[in-house]
Structure 1
Amino acid sequence: MAGAAMTQPNRAAGDPPEPQDGLPVSPLARLRLLVALDALLVEGSVSGAAASLGLSTPAMSRMLGQLRTMYGDDLLRRAGGRMVPTARAGELRLRLRALVSDAEALMRPDPAPAPAPPLKLGIPQHPPLARQDHLLPEGQPDSATITRHLFSIGHNHPPQERLARYIATIGAGRGRTRPLDETEAADAFGIVLDGEADPIQIGALLVALQYRGVTTAELVGMARAARRGFPPPTGAEGAPDLDWPAYRSPRNRRPPWFLLAAKLLAGGGHRVLLHGFSDGLFDPVLKALDIPVALSLPEARAALSQGSCAFLPLSAIEPQVQALLNLYRLFEMRAPVNLVVQLLNPLGAGASVFGVPSAGNARLHGEAAAQLGWSRSLSVESHRDVAQATPHRMMKLVLTRGAEAAEIGVPPGDAGTPQSQPPGYDVADLCYAVWSGALRDPAALGTVLDTAALGLMAISAEGPDMAEARRMAAELWERRSSAQRRV
């Protein structure tokens, strides 16, 4: 009858429960999902996990979707072209490995059963890193033996032995590795920064991490090691209002409009610390804009107290990190150190702005900054290595306040596409001319104002949104004093 409530057919006592939210409810089906998650974490890819379990890739992809629904977490994210586990997946990893490795051991025929060991409840401290679903050649140690050997190397062993364990943990090959936890990553990077690593170990560690992609825990651990001796990022009295990492590639010769934005914020009373490479890339523009270059942390504090804006070279912050970045010419590729420098925050500002190359890196930096104690951070996806607006193209932002993250899309504006450098101007002359008003360049001015707006969004604890921040930046531009314009 129309409007009558629909009744469910009678269910037999042995019928399986109905699925809810697309998830299986039978214990056996859910156990199958856990085995699938273990394979995903071991293999690091949907196709690899599917092959290891004899499933199709679409079937494994559906199971990953069910797992994400079940846990309310991404579990695996794209980073560095690969999939890396989230923090929640990292928490589950050892328990899953213990569960599946014990199940594999129970199903493996043992030609000479040994006496059963005393029953121990709980999870093994270090279950095997790899799945063991085939007979090994004679003389080859199984995964459990290899794992026991690795974890016999403890915190009291010599630094190079500990670092060797970390390299083997992340670099032994697909299906035989796991990410480092925060403590391990901090110890590994600390050994490198203290000069206690063999040079070959440094290359092995960096390449293994870069190839697989860095997890949040690994980035946090490395950043903690690099930030030893720096104040916590709490924005305490005397700390900058905004930390602005500027580690732009030397090959990028476009005008650094973000320097004008930083100076504009400083003119509005916000203390801004810029830090970047020590190669003199920005020196002419810094001089033209009268932004002081500090050669030590005390000098940077003094400069901020006098003028609200300063630039601190990396060599004055952490020379060993500078040396690691200089390895680029030996690798011809980036390394995790390029991510770590964004999180140095040497004077403990409560807020930072980051320029990142992808959505995965935006979330990665936001999560890492929050775990390191930042109150606020803003990641800009459309400009790599330094936060600079791109008003001529779509901007994707990730704004993090505490543990809360919001993704914001900013459509292109109407200021137009940046023009090529006018004849007769070098970069410093061009930046000075735009700042002083001697040259009218709507596209350049739009970039400066939108970049300043990004800084205002990061600094504020409650807001503003992009539209309000743009209005505030425009007011700062109109109010900048004649003394500021002359610099």
Structure 2
Amino acid sequence: MTTHAPLLLQTPAEHPFAQFVRALGKGKRGARNLTREEAREAMGMLLDEKVEQTQLGAFLMLLRHKEESAEELAGFTEALRERLKAPALQVDIDWPTYAGKKRHLPWYLLAAKCLAGNGVRILIHGGGAHTAGRLYTEQLLGTLGIPLCRDWQAVGSALDDQGLAFAPLMDWAPQLQRMIDLRNTLGLRSPIHSLARILNPLGARCGLQSIFHPGYQAVHRDASGLLGDHAIVIKGDGGEIEVNPDSISHLYATTGGQSWDEEWPALSAQRHVKPASLEPAHLLAVWRGDVEDSYGEMALISTMALALRGLDKTRDEAFTLAREYWATRDRSI
């Protein structure tokens, strides 16, 4: 008679990240928001690459379905800032650009360039061309003479020389860039597209944010408030930080932990017809004064005013300065 040793069953240990997936996905009654501390720990594990790919996809899509809270965004941001090896650089405006434009040209780039020419130090950062049919900042850097900076030392030099620098997300937060790049694998944008706008990696005096979807603007403002940042959030044209002169603009802002709101009327009495195609050469022509563009000039002047409003100018002061800067710009590129 043959005897067999008893079968020993060993329950595998739960992965430490599983608790965060469970919190977000435990059914209609069991699911909940992460606390700020949980969000910081979860994002820390993602940034430290201590998570399985299946967990990453599940986490991002559950978070997107639930919609991220201000506390979660603040915790995620804290995790990244703790890991950044960034020097202390003076920056006036943090200018995230992650959406791309498809209806109008990116007039915000001329606004940033004009502000930089008048002593405003601006860090622009973006996450690559992830959606077909859009025109992205990265595609226009050479055309407009905006420095592409691949490390913080280059950013500091560009800010000192031109007041303007573009730093790709892939260079200072490659893990976040990889999450953004999952867009075509998952079929949906993840919350990282939204998170990237709030990061303000160099602690600029004011962070500008464009959040397109209604309801998210106040959440982002509240997250920046929790972080103690000074920020202005708008529903910018196409998801970029660009004031649409044909529409009323609502500013959701926070200063010193105090929230405030401001509504700017439309600059144009009637809506402009969108161009048939987006030709970057037209941006150059307008900058050089070779042609006029009513929509473009109103968009860039009001966008400059938005940034100046973030630097503690009143709305009237901001528009007066913006028009003066545009009229006296150096027209060479």
Same fold (TM over 0.5): yes
Which residue does 1:193 correspond to in 2?
Answer: 47
8 Å CA contact 1:362, 1:379 repeated in 2: yes
Native 8 Å contact 1:317 1:346 kept in 2? no
* Change beyond 3 A, Cα 1:395–1:328: same
Matches within 5 A, 1:59-458: 161-230=15-84, 238-249=89-100, 252=102, 254-279=104-129, 281-374=136-229, 376-414=230-268, 416-421=270-275, 427-458=279-310
Tell me the TM-score normalized by structure 1: 0.61
Partners of 1:290 and 1:297 in 2: CA distance: 19
Please list the CA deviations of residues 6-61 of structure 1 after superposition, one character each: whole Å capped at 9, or x if unmatched: xxxxxxxxxxxxxxxxxxxxxxxxxxxxxxxxxxxxxxxxxxxxxxxxxxxxxxxx
**Deviation for aligned residue 1:419:** 4.2
- Is 2:321 the counterpart of 1:475? no
Aligned to 2:331: 485
- Where does the alignment leave 5 or more consecutive residues of structure 2 unmatched? 1-11, 130-134
Does the 8 A contact of 1:366 with 1:377 survive in 2? yes
Any idea what SS the aligned residue of 1:405 has? strand
Q: CA deviation at 1:198?
A: 0.9
Deviation at 1:346, TM superposition (A): 2.1
CA distance in 2, matches of 1:454, 1:310: 19
- How far apart, CA to CA, are the structure 2 residues paired with 1:479 and 1:428? 22
Distance in 2 separating the partners of 1:415 and 1:343: 33
Q: SS in structure 1 opposite 2:95? A: strand
Matched-pair contact (CA < 8 Å) for 2:123–2:164: yes
Q: Distance in 2 between matches of 1:295 and 1:430?
A: 28
Q: Give 1:253 shift.
A: 6.0
Secondary structure at the aligned position of 1:175 is classed as helix
Give the whole-Å Cα distance in 2 for the aligned partners of 1:243 and 1:196.
29
In 2, the alpha carbon distance for the partners of 1:457 and 1:359 equals 22
1:42-53 map, 5 Å:
none
C-alpha distance in 2, partners of 1:467/1:244?
22
Q: Distance in 2 between matches of 1:419 and 1:439?
A: 17
Counterpart Cα distance in 1 of 2:238 and 2:136: 16
Which of structures 1 and 2 has the bigger CA Rg? 1
Q: Which has the higher contact order (CA 8 A, sep 6+)?
A: 2
Q: Return closer, same or farther for 1:229/1:302 CA change in 2, 3 Å cut-off.
A: farther
- Whole-Å separation in 1 of the counterparts to 2:327 and 2:148: 26
Amino acid at match of 1:347: L
Q: Aligned partners of 2:72 and 2:319: how far apart in 1?
A: 36
Deviation at 1:382, TM superposition (A): 4.2
- Cα distance between partner residues in 1 of 2:123 and 2:306: 15
Distance 1:304 1:415 in 2: 38
Decide whether aligned partners of structure 1 residues 159 and 183 sit closer, same or farther in structure 2, where only a CA change above 3 A counts. farther
Question: How far apart, CA to CA, are the structure 2 residues paired with 1:477 and 1:237?
Answer: 30
Deviation (angstroms), 1:320: 1.0
1:64-118 deviation line (CA, Å, top 9, x unaligned): xxxxxxxxxxxxxxxxxxxxxxxxxxxxxxxxxxxxxxxxxxxxxxxxxxxxxxx
Distance 2:153 2:46 in 1: 26
Q: 1:177: how far off?
A: 2.3
Alpha-carbon separation, structure 1, partners of 2:165 and 2:103 = 21
Task: Give the conservation status (yes or no) of the 8 Å contact 1:381–1:395.
Answer: yes
Which stretch of the first structure deviates more once superposed, 263-272 or 363-372? 363-372
- 1:284–1:214 CA distance, 2 compared to 1 (3 A): closer
Cα gap change, 1:312 to 1:419, in 2 (>3 Å): farther
SS of the equivalent of 2:251 reads strand
CA shift digits 1:105-140 (9 cap, x unpaired):
xxxxxxxxxxxxxxxxxxxxxxxxxxxxxxxxxxxx
Partners of 2:269 and 2:241 in 1: CA distance: 19
AA of the residue aligned to 1:467: D
Is the 8 Å Cα contact of residues 160 and 196 (structure 1) preserved in structure 2?
Answer: no
Q: When the two structures are aligned, how many residues end up with a matched partner?
A: 317
Q: Is the 8 A contact 1:245 1:275 kept in 2?
A: yes
Counterpart contact for 1:276–1:313, Cα < 8 Å: yes
CA shift in 2, pair 1:421/1:406, >3 Å: same
Q: List structure 1 runs of 4+ shifted beyond 4 angstroms.
A: none
Overall identity of the aligned pairs, in %: 29
Equivalent residue letter for 2:144: L
Cα distance in structure 1, aligned partners of 2:249 and 2:301: 14
1:387 alignment partner, SS class: coil
* CA gap 1:466/1:343 in 2 versus in 1, 3 angstroms: same
**Offset, 1:254:** 3.1
TM-score (norm 2): 0.88
Report the alpha carbon displacement of residue 159 of structure 1 after superposing the two structures with TM.
11
SS at the partner of 2:150?
Answer: coil
RMSD (Å), alpha carbons:
2.3
| Contact 2:151 2:172 (8 Å CA) reproduced | yes
Distance verdict in 2 for CA 1:422–1:386, change over 3 Å: closer
